[in-house]
Amino acid sequence: VPLAEKALIARIRRMADLAPGRTPKHTRAAHAFLEKGIGDDCAVLRVLPRTELLVTTDFSLEGVHFRRDWHSPESVGHRCLARGLSDIAAMGGEALAAFLSLALPRDLSQVWVDRFARGLINLAEKNKVPLAGGDTAQSPDRILADIVVLGTVPQGKAILRSGAHPGDCIYVTGELGGSASAVVEMRETKRKLNARSYPRHFFPVPRINIGRVLREQKIASAMIDLSDGLSTDLAHICQESRVGAEISVTAIPRARVGSPAREVDLELALHGGEDYELLFTAPANQRVPAKIGGVPVTRIGAITRGHKISLKDAGGRAHELQPRGWEHFRR
Ligand SMILES: [Mg+2]
């Protein structure tokens, strides 16, 4: 049985304050914008002049976004926060603070909750984001976690989905399809996977630093994070920018997964979700580095007039690409 609300909050607060290598004093110094975190009616955050606040909220629902028999509690906690941080990255923002609301069934062990919190707090520490508050409640039977992440961006500098123009080139960071391939594998084999062979599924790295570089160096004209899958997320950019796109099959960087490592199917790279890489556009004459922070950046196509999205096959023929995004773990 998980601890009662007060005790649970006190425990998570202690874990957040005493994460490895940290003292409460450290926490205060690292989190310079946090005037008051857990322990009052509201968190109090300092906001610099001429900055804008980014707010994103994401559910992690048992049976939809994760399964207790597939994902370790640490992975569930990590992925829960990664979803929010990835949205901040997609705007070119810096993460300011995270807020967690948890609804837990009575039959859940406190050990599960502790391990979940550890996974979440480890990622928070890596990104210097304080867990600054939240809420807990009892859930009738499944685990529900809702993460809110606040971020900042200099006034008027957020990178929107709506900034792409015909002629812009289209880029992705990292490799695609790795996360979805883990789900396919677990569904087919009906057993747990070694998280180390599928890090992009179990412990995805939100691309906060890359997003910031793309904003600071004024490289990206439009951006989104790849949470639903390339075909769907590219359609979001095209819709908001009122443009079309043409991408090329041979250019799409496919993830290598498992051991021994093998390249994922094209279908997964095109439609598989939850890679949490960045998809962005840049003017054709804009220089774009081949790597940012050690992560490859690959040009996969170009923005076109109109509203169609097409996929050029290896022979150079174009086919219309339908958005067939990710349905999480629903059958
Ligand atoms: Mg997003």
What pLDDT was estimated at residue 327?
58
Ligand 1 centroid to Cα of residue 18, in Å, is 30
Q: What band does 127 get if pLDDT is binned at 50, 70 and 90?
A: very high
User: Residue 9 in contact with residue 136, Cβ under 8 Å?
Assistant: yes
What pLDDT was estimated at residue 6?
83
Ligand 1 centroid to Cα of residue 276, in Å, is 8
d(CA 76, CA 61): 10
Tell me: pLDDT of 139 over 70: yes
Tell me: pLDDT of 270 over 70: yes
Q: What band does 33 get if pLDDT is binned at 50, 70 and 90?
A: confident
Ligand 1 centroid to Cα of residue 86, in Å, is 7
Tokens at 33, concatenated: 């914008």
Tell me: pLDDT of 15 over 80: yes
Tokens at 52, concatenated: 């804008």
Ligand 1 centroid to Cα of residue 128, in Å, is 20
Average pLDDT over residues 50-77: 96
Q: Note residues around ion ligand 1 (Cβ under 5 angstroms).
A: 87, 225, 227
Mean pLDDT of the residues in the chain: 92
What pLDDT was estimated at residue 145?
97
Tell me: pLDDT of 330 over 50: no
d(CA 177, CA 171): 15
Burial of 308 by CB count in 10 Å (0-12 exposed, 13-18 middle, 19+ buried)? middle
- What does pTM read for this prediction? 0.94
Average pLDDT over residues 296-314: 97
pLDDT in tens, 94-125: 999 999 999 999 999 999 999 999 999 999 99
Ligand 1 centroid to Cα of residue 108, in Å, is 30
Tell me: pLDDT of 311 over 90: yes
